[in-house]
Amino acid sequence: MISRKITEKYQSNGQGINTMSENQGVPVQESELSFTLRKYTGLMGIFIGVVCAAWSIFQFYTSGFGLLSAMPQRATTLVFTLILTFLLYPMWKGEKSSFFAMTRDGIFVALAVITCVNIILNYHRIAENLGISNPRDIVLGAVLIVLVFEATRRTVGWPLVIAAGIFLIYAFAGQYMPGILQHRGYPLDRIIEQMYLGVEGIFGVPLGVMTTYVYAFLLFGSFLEVTGGAKLFLNLAYSMTGFLKGGPAKTAVIASALTGTISGSALANAVTTGTFTIPLMKSVGYRPAFAAGVEAATSTGGQLMPPIMGAAAFIMVELTGISYLNIIISAAIPSFLYYLSLYVMVHQEAERLGLRPIPKEELPKFRAAIIAAIPLIIPVIAIFSLLIYGITPLKSAFFATILLCFSSSISKDTRITGRKIVEALIKAARNAIAVSAAVTICGVIGGVVTLTGLGMKMSLIIIDLTKGDLFLTCLMVCISCLILGIGLPTTANYIVLAPIATPALIQLGLPVMTAHMFILYYGLLTEVTPPVALTAYTTAAIAGSPGMRSAIYGFKIAIAGFLIPFMFVYAPGLLCLGNFMDALQPLVTSIFGIVALGSSVTGYLLIRLNTVERVILFATAITLCDPHIITDLIGIMFFAGILAVQYVKKRRGSSNPWRGGSHAI
């Protein structure tokens, strides 16, 4: 475990590292939103726990022994989501659990059960009638739409609710839309049929992915959490990097990458690792806002880390028909480049500030850390192995969870007890509530896009505006992702934009994988893009720094991530879509580009850079985005020239004029 000397040191400095034992491994919904969730004791508390455990058991059983038909399976997931939402999330922030509030939400729960049970009991009739409704279905469908909107508002907030509402209005009032956006408009009962009685609305692909892949991996992650997996991965990362300059920041990079393999959530990653790494970064000399920015940027990239990635990756499987194994293989090089860029940034900042490493005697031993983590690494390796063998992601998560229960018993520190099993079941359900509500309302958006043909219309508009230019089209899609990201989480951002923007990118010649990965990448980068950078605000609370300043630091530290999608657009080999040689050249030049960009932003290479050198390195990074041999040679030549100048100056002991002071980054 973490050295006692280090722990006592940070406790005495008031850094609060002792909160690690309390917050470590806590799901993001609990750690972030516990101040808004209702607290129950006694019989009601037991009832909530039973409902959570029952949901997890249902998902675990169906993942291993066979799913129900699509509509009943998804309706069961939705009814659990709505029950727990209305019982745990108050209607308004700070609302007290009065008799009126509990009665009102009890009615919501009853309506949720009625509307979903109607689907479960009558799905044969609905399927045989091809979605044709009767008056009862219309009433129940209208009620369920309202319940889904309210559940989303309570768990995720207004932006996604407003977006879905605009889409519904578009479906109803299409005849009043201008130009190509115009359609004949649909009556209310037809819209409700689309949303309630088929698999292209509320019970569409997003909820289907949630009830299969996403929940299975959430459950696997929860079991890893209760065994102390995040702590062990932190120990391992700290033993590898703590003795380097700026070691705690490098620990954050590696720990977040490792935690991302089991989490798939930027917020959960930030809370899990940030409670430890942020105080450590502050203690060695990093500014609080910089420490928060580092953790936000590193946690965001966890959504790209195989084998779990984020929920959006599973949505991609359904939308593209590409196997999950191929998706995680394609994500491997971009995620490596992203974390390499973060490592370069924190290393250059540590060099610029002259930070000292932590003495090795105060660090955990690497051998002990790796041995302690082996029981939990085995199931993660098993997921890769099962996927390569051809087992579906759903079955892979199922078998890996069972294997984890056995492998964790190797060590008494990780051994799963009956109490931990119950804890994992409840945590998985709590983690799933907000995700499930968000993807359900995204089904409403998807239903409107399908009903009205909006996706193809928007693609035509994009191509017309950009005159078919690939760069301009990609730039427009990038900006659209970042604007939508102001209010939407990563998964919702991807679900909304994928059917609208990917046809335009594919029509311009991009492979399906490249087009979808491009949108996914910018969807997740919204987590660190001001003004609404939710992950950065979360880490700022841990660091005790201003939220906006932390978000700006996170944006600067993650800036290379904004270039990587353009790199694999022009060099699809970076997504492993060709042979090895197709990936080798762009990978090498991308590494040079990332180092150049990181040095330009931090203002440090071998020694401090002057303004001219920083501008040249920034231009070099942009040049190396294009994989053509001429641009690559020009970029490498400029990089080598700056490197040579820096080497000569360093040998002479000179330093460049500095115009950025200690706040360059």
**pLDDT-based confidence at 487, cuts 50/70/90?**
low
Higher pLDDT, 352 or 49: 49
For tokens 């050295």, the residue is 3
Q: Among 291, 245, 301, 345, which residue's Cα sits nearest to residue 594?
A: 345
Q: Which residue has the higher pLDDT, 486 or 192?
A: 192
3-state secondary structure of 27: coil
More confident residue, 97 or 338: 338
DSSP code string of 270-295: HHHHHHHHHHHHHHTT--HHHHHHHH
Distance of CA 552 to the CA centre of its chain: 19
Range of weakest confidence among 137-151, 163-177, 572-586? 572-586
Residue 665 pLDDT? 66
Rounded Cα–Cα distance for residues 150 and 442 (Å): 14
Q: How many whole angstroms separate alpha carbon 147 and alpha carbon 440?
A: 11
370-398 per-position pLDDT tens digit: 888 888 889 888 988 898 888 888 999 99
Least confident of 140-149, 280-289, 391-400, 501-510: 280-289
Distance CA 641, CA 594 (A): 16
Which of these ranges, 147-151, 309-313, 557-561, has the smallest mean pLDDT?
309-313
Residue 265 and residue 66: Cα distance in Å, rounded? 27
Torsion of CA 558, 563, 566, 568, to 10 degrees: -70
**pLDDT tens digits for range 98-132:** 889 999 999 999 999 999 999 999 988 888 876 56
Find residue 608's DSSP bridge partners: 604
For residue 242, give both structure tokens.
Answer: 């703590």
Q: What are the backbone angles phi and psi of residue 372, rounded to the nearest 5°?
A: -65, -30
pLDDT cut 90: percent of the chain above it: 37
SS3 192: helix
Q: What's the pLDDT score for residue 51?
A: 97
pLDDT at residue number 262? 62
For position 346, what pLDDT does the model report?
86
Name the band, by pLDDT with cuts 50, 70 and 90, for residue 36: low
The dihedral sign for the CA sequence 641, 642, 643, 644: positive
Q: pLDDT tens-digit profile of 513-543? A: 999 999 998 888 888 888 777 788 888 888 8
Phi, psi for 414 (deg, rounded to 5): -110, -5
Between 25 and 490, residue with greater pLDDT: 490
- The answer to whether 241 touches 199, Cβ cutoff 8 Å, is no
**How far is 437 from 439, CA to CA, in rounded Å?**
6
User: What's the pLDDT at 546?
Assistant: 87
Q: Comparing C-alpha atoms, which of 43, 131, 51, 124 is closest to residue 84?
A: 51
pLDDT value of position 538: 81
Contact between 260 and 304 under an 8 Å Cβ cutoff? The reply is: yes
Higher-confidence residue: 263 or 608?
Answer: 608
Whole-number pLDDT of residue 125: 86
Single-letter code of the amino acid located at 395: K
Torsion of CA 78, 83, 86, 87, to 10 degrees: -150
**Whole-angstrom distance, CA of residue 83 vs CA of residue 372:** 39
As a residue count, the chain comes to 665
User: Quick check: 337 pLDDT over 50?
Assistant: yes
Give the pLDDT of residue 22.
33
Give the mean pLDDT of 160-173.
93
* Residue 657 Cα to chain centre, angstroms: 40
- Kindly tell me if the per-residue pLDDT of 92 is higher than 50: yes
Note the pLDDT of residue 5.
43
pLDDT band for position 269 (cuts 50, 70, 90): confident
Peptide bond between residue 531 and the one before it cis (omega within 30 degrees of 0): yes
pLDDT in the model for residue 305? 80
Residue 186 has pLDDT above 80, yes or no: yes
**Before 357, cis peptide (omega within 30)?**
no
DSSP code string of 39-86 = ---HHHHHHHHHHHHHHHHHHHHHHHH----HHHHHHHHHHHHHHHHH
Query: By CB neighbour count within 10 A (0-12 exposed, 13-18 middle, 19+ buried), where does 362 fall?
Result: middle
The domains of the chain are located at 581-665
Q: Which residues contact 25 (CB under 8 A, 6 or more apart)?
A: 225, 226, 228, 229, 230, 231, 272
Mean pLDDT of 465-472: 90
pLDDT number for residue 119: 94
Do residues 479 and 532 make contact, with C-beta atoms less than 8 angstroms apart? no
Phi, psi (rounded to 5 degrees) for 451: -65, -40
Percent of the chain with pLDDT over 70: 91
* pLDDT recorded at residue 309: 78
Q: Are 498 and 539 in contact (CB under 8 A)?
A: no
pLDDT band at 596 (very low <50, low <70, confident <90, very high): very high
User: 81 or 358, which is more confident?
Assistant: 81
Strand, coil or helix: 604:
strand
Residue 23 pLDDT more than 80?
no
Average pLDDT, the chain: 84
- pLDDT exceeds cutoff 80 at 361: no
Q: How far apart are CA 563 and CA 67, in angstroms?
A: 41
Residue 415 is predicted with a pLDDT of 87
Whether residue 560 is predicted with pLDDT greater than 80 in this model: the reply is yes
Q: Count other Cβ atoms within 10 Å, centred on residue 97.
A: 13
For residue 91, the model assigns a pLDDT of 92
Give the integer Cα–Cα distance in Å for 41 and 493. Answer: 37
Query: What pLDDT, on a 0 to 100 scale, did the predictor assign at position 639?
Result: 92
pLDDT band at 654 (very low <50, low <70, confident <90, very high): low
Structure tokens at 94: 């700070």
575: part of which helix (H) or strand (E)?
none
Please give the Cα distance from 555 to 526 (Å, whole number). Answer: 9
* CA–CA distances in Å: residue 316 to residues 129, 321, 326: 30, 8, 11
Task: Copy the structure tokens of residue 260.
Answer: 């991302």
Return the pLDDT at 77.
97
pLDDT of residue 251 exceeding 60, the answer is yes
